[in-house]
Amino acid sequence: MNLCKQWAPAIFVCAIYFGVLRIAEAAPPAAEDPCAGFKWDVSRERALFGSLAQEQPAGKDSASAPVLVPNHLYRLRLLPRGQVAFAAPPGKSTFAADSYAGLAALQLPSSGSYRLAVDLPIWIDVATDGALVPPRDYEAEHGCDAPRKIVVFDLDAAHRLMLQFSGASQALIRLTVTRALVE
């Protein structure tokens, strides 16, 4: 009898421990953040995508393009692709005839690497002096829309920079431009 009194607290603790383990195993897994898979720190872009967007109509040509600056969230209204005269031929031209496109001028405070982040699957080019600036890197998270895709470009603030969006399935996109940190 004395032996039972000595082991009773240990048995009780073990029963509680294994009971908690069984409940934890039966619980559904916590939902994963669909935006957590980016290889870069995207906290600045995520914060901007959580802010109020400034509405802008996309330009149909370079002259009508709105001017965008870094560290703001924009909601750009695109046009049917056939209505847009690009500053340079887009880097990808296999889009559906009923897709949307548009232009925006980019005004930078200084030259450097910048990230263009969008919430939809869309083609992003940067044109300057009639030619495309090659992207340095890109990444996309298909389950995420805040942002979905980020493209990094090395940009020269001394030149006129034209953002070209094409191949969108919707007329409205949200986008941000941020300075790329050393990755």
What domains, with CATH codes, occur in the chain?
43-179 (2.60.120)
Q: Are β-strands 79-80 and 131-132 bridged in parallel, bridged antiparallel, or unpaired? A: unpaired
Strands 73-77 and 100-106: unpaired
| pLDDT range class, residue 140, cuts 50, 70, 90 | very high
CA 117/CA 109 separation, integer angstroms:
18
Q: Residue 176 pLDDT > 60, yes or no?
A: yes
Distances from the Cα of 62 to the Cα of 39, 71, 75, 146, angstroms:
34, 22, 18, 27
Q: Is the pLDDT of residue 116 over 80?
A: yes
Please report the pLDDT score of residue 97 as a whole number. Answer: 81
